[in-house]
Amino acid sequence: MRRKVSVGFSLALSAVTLLMASSLLSGVVALRSNSSTSVSLAADDSVERGTVSSAATPVCTQYCMVANVTVGVGPEGLTYDAADGAVYVTNEYSNNVTIVNVTRNAAIGSVDVGTWPQSALYDGLNKEVYVANSNNVGQGTVTVISGTTVVTNITTGTSAQDLAIGPNGTLYVSNTFSNNISVINVTTNTVQSTISGGGLNWPTGEALDPYTGLVYVANYASGTSGTVTVLNGTSAIAVIGGLGSYPQHITFDSANGYFYVTNEYSGNVSMINPATNTVIGSITVGGVPWGITCDAKTGNVFVADENSSAILMKVISGAKVVSTIRVANAPAGSSSFGSAVASNALYVGSNGNIYANANSYAGDGAKSGTNLTGKLEVFSTSTTNYTVKFVRSGLPAGTKWWLNLTNGQHFFSTGTTITFKELNGTYHFHIAIANRLYSVSRITGLHSAFTVSGANVFKRVVFSLVTYKVSFSETGLPSGTKWWVNLSNGQSFGSNQTSIAFVESNGSYHYTLASANGAYTSGGSTFTVSGAGVKLKVVFT
């Protein structure tokens, strides 16, 4: 989200948040969602492909969106907790952090933090999450979270924005409007020093060089010839010039040893060689590049790019753009990415997913107060499709049943099996049938979702008749006399009590009554079950 500042131009205090949890592939254009057209038929089945909700959506082969998780209002930053398998998403306008389970791709809780939380960063050494709270242009803070518990809040400079963990347990916090860096000891959770000068001018994005322990900070207000300040311990030791206009965020590519910096108003990304602390080139991405992060395994760099027609992620390999990913929750003219996470918050996990925050809103949400619908969008980097097989039982032969995925795919069958292919990811589904006398009584595993994680998936679905209670109560018979309700379909129910109860599915049933005492009789009739229980009173005379 962008907000107006007093100097008269728009500071993009927030950009896109991108986070990799595994190695990423390059060279293939990614599309909105996976809509596989391949349906495998079992020998006894007549499976047909249902109508996809968006017939124009092509098949996705790489960087496919596999989940869309609702988070808080105005998602900004995110970080990946590799130990617990969770993503922490900062929500600027609800002042909290949403915790998302990466196995189920589902929100599992939230934690209240400071005002206007921006970036988040997980420290794997002490297993705590740090959240930078900007408080708009007021006093900034850092909230320290352990699991789901707030440990403490640390006061920083004005408008805390980004975070980086340096050597020896040192946390660097960029304070944009006080033009300085707070240096926090993460053992004591106290500010040990403040770095000023050294060209710091509205510092925003930060990134660590893991080989030297130096921290590089992008200076947003350095203008049309952007700069980056280099920090060593508690001192600024160098200023690198010659970047593009208004550098925003920065990441380190351990594959080639270069830094990449997004320049918001020149539509490009600058490359810095830390060996010489010089700009060695620029990459045109177009639009408005904001957030940036890197996959340490492959060296691919991901850039959030907003232009006039769409919200995109650009994939950079080396010094060129090799792929473009369209963010499905960001239609042109109505959306923005969230804020850039700390540039070193890159975690390589086992699920091979990219995580990106996206908002849907009209205009400047900070000004208009428009409610922002926050989403954490999950993209798979896998190009392997795995078999998903649903087998049903309990339905009459030839009964048509449907499997509807919430991503727009629909499958149906008149046989016992539906089989199709999917990429890694979590998929939510609903099951429907043509014969309304039956309903699903049991599904193996989760009842509304399945997860593809590097292996085929099998789920068994059990249908059963939907039945309702039918109750008969009698009067007129001597106490203890046995009596019967006899249905014309062959069923018979008896009791020596005054009531008889059983269950039936929807339909009309003719019955007769009989008693063990031939001196007493009662006539027969018909009852109808129609979506509810039935109670009948009969009299023997």
- Locus of tokens 């006894």: 44
Q: Which residues contact 188 (CB under 8 A, 6 or more apart)?
A: none
CATH code at position 272: 2.130.10.10
Among residues of the chain, what percentage have pLDDT more than 70?
A: 79
Domain presence at residue 144: yes
- 239 and 349 in a single domain? The answer is yes
Compute the radius of gyration of the chain from its Cα atoms.
31
Pick from 540, 510, 539: nearest CA to 526? 510
Confidence of residue 165 (pLDDT cuts 50, 70, 90): very high
User: Residue 293: CA atoms inside 13 Å, Cβ hemisphere, count?
Assistant: 31
How high is the pLDDT of residue 369?
Answer: 43
42 in helix, strand or coil?
coil
For residue 175, being part of any structural domain is answered with yes
Res 11: pLDDT:
35
How far from chain centre, in Å, is Cα 456?
Answer: 22
Q: Which of 30-39, 115-124, 299-308 has the lowest mean pLDDT?
A: 30-39
What pLDDT is stored for residue 310 in this prediction?
56
Whether 28 has a pLDDT exceeding 50, the answer reads: no
Q: Are 356 and 472 contained in the same domain?
A: no
Q: Residue 335, exposed/middle/buried by CB under 10 A (0-12, 13-18, 19+)?
A: buried
Burial class (CB in 10 A: 0-12, 13-18, 19+), 277: middle
The whole-number pLDDT of residue 339 equals 35
**In this structure, is residue 112 part of a structural domain?**
yes
What are the structure tokens assigned to 5, written together? Answer: 């500042």
Q: How confident is the model at residue 19 (pLDDT cuts 50, 70, 90)?
A: low
Task: Say if residue 471 is in the same domain as residue 375.
Answer: no
Q: How far apart are CA 471 and CA 501, in angstroms?
A: 4
Q: Please state the three-class secondary structure of 241-268 as a single string.
A: CCCCCCEEEEEEECCCCEEEEEECCCCE
308 pLDDT above the threshold of 60: no
Domain endpoint, select from 380, 405, 431? 380
Most confident of 25-29, 157-161, 323-327, 371-375: 157-161
The C-alpha atoms of residue 170 and residue 334 are separated, in whole angstroms, by 39
Whether this prediction's pTM lies above 0.85 is answered by no
Number of domains, the chain: 2
Please spell the DSSP secondary structure of 314-369, one letter per residue: EEEETTEEEEEEE-TT--TTSEEE-PPPPTT-----SS-EEEEEEEE-SS-HHHH-
Q: Are residues 374 and 479 in the same domain?
A: no
For residues 350 and 473, membership in a common domain is answered with no
Q: What proportions of the chain, in percent to the nearest 5, are helix, strand and coil?
A: 0, 55, 45
Alpha carbons 446 and 523: distance in angstroms, whole number? 50
Which of the four pLDDT bands, split at 50, 70 and 90, describes residue 309? low
Q: Given a cut of 90, is residue 163 above it in pLDDT?
A: yes
Pairing of strands 190-196, 483-487: unpaired
Do 505 and 463 contact (CB within 8 A), yes or no? Answer: no
* Three-state helix/strand/coil letters over 452-519: ECCCCEEEEEEEEECEEEEEEEEECCCCCCCEEEEECCCCEEEECCCEEEEEEECEEEEEEEEECCCC
CATH number at residue 521: 2.60.40.1120
Whether residues 283 and 151 fall in one domain: yes
The per-residue pLDDT for 111 is: 97
Q: Name, in order, each residue with C-beta under 8 angstroms of 285's C-beta and a sequence gap of 6 or more.
A: 267, 268, 269, 303, 305, 314, 316, 321
Question: Which residue reads 């930060």 in tokens?
Answer: 206
Residues 6+ apart with CB under 8 A from 56: none
Question: What is the DSSP secondary structure assignment for residue 57, as one 8-state letter?
Answer: P
Q: 435 burial class (0-12, 13-18, 19+ CB within 10 angstroms)?
A: middle
Q: Select the more confidently predicted residue: 62 or 103.
A: 103
- Please state the rounded mean pLDDT for residues 328-333: 39
User: What is the rounded CA–CA span in Å between residue 442 and residue 446?
Assistant: 10
Please compute the mean of the pLDDT values over residues 489-499 and round it to a whole number: 96
**Checking DSSP bridges between strand 117-123 and strand 128-133, what pairing results, if any?**
antiparallel
Domain end call among 341, 364, 380: 380
The domain of 359 spans 3-27+62-380
Asked whether residue 368 falls in the same domain as residue 476, the answer is: no
Distance CA 508, CA 511 (A): 10
Q: How far apart are CA 311 and CA 213, in angstroms?
A: 34
Asked if the model's pLDDT at residue 477 lies above 90, the reply is yes
Does a structural domain hold residue 387? Answer: no
**pLDDT-based confidence at residue 327 (cuts at 50, 70, 90):** low
Joined together, the tokens standing for residue 318 give 């080396």
In a domain, 472, yes or no: yes
144: left (phi over 0), alpha (psi -120 to 50) or beta: beta
Residue 56 lies in a domain: no
Beta bridge partners of 374: 359
Mean confidence (pLDDT) of the chain? 80
pLDDT of residue 266: 93
Q: Which of 354, 380, 406 is the last residue of a domain?
A: 380
Give the tens place of pLDDT for each residue, 220-248: 987 788 999 999 999 999 999 999 999 99
357 or 55: which leads in pLDDT: 357
Whole-angstrom distance, CA of residue 504 vs CA of residue 210:
70
Q: Quick one: 205 and 353 in the same domain? A: yes
* Exposed e or buried b per residue across 491-517, where buried means at least 16 C-beta atoms within 10 angstroms of its C-beta: eeeeeeeeebeeebeeeebebebbbee
- The answer, yes or no, to whether residue 27 has pLDDT greater than 80, is no
Facing residues of 426 across strands?
451
Measured CA to CA, the distance from residue 347 to residue 264 in angstroms comes to 25
481 in the same domain as 368: no
SS (H, E, C) 118-148: EEEEEECCCCEEEEEECCCCCEEEEEEEECC
Q: In the predicted model, is pLDDT for residue 346 greater than 50?
A: no
| Residue 421 forms part of a structural domain | no
CB-based contacts of 55: which residues, under 8 Å, 6+ apart? Answer: none
Residue 190 belongs to some domain of the structure = yes
pLDDT tens per residue, range 174-199:
999 999 999 999 999 999 999 999 99
| 327 dihedral zone (left: phi>0; alpha: psi -120 to 50; beta) | beta
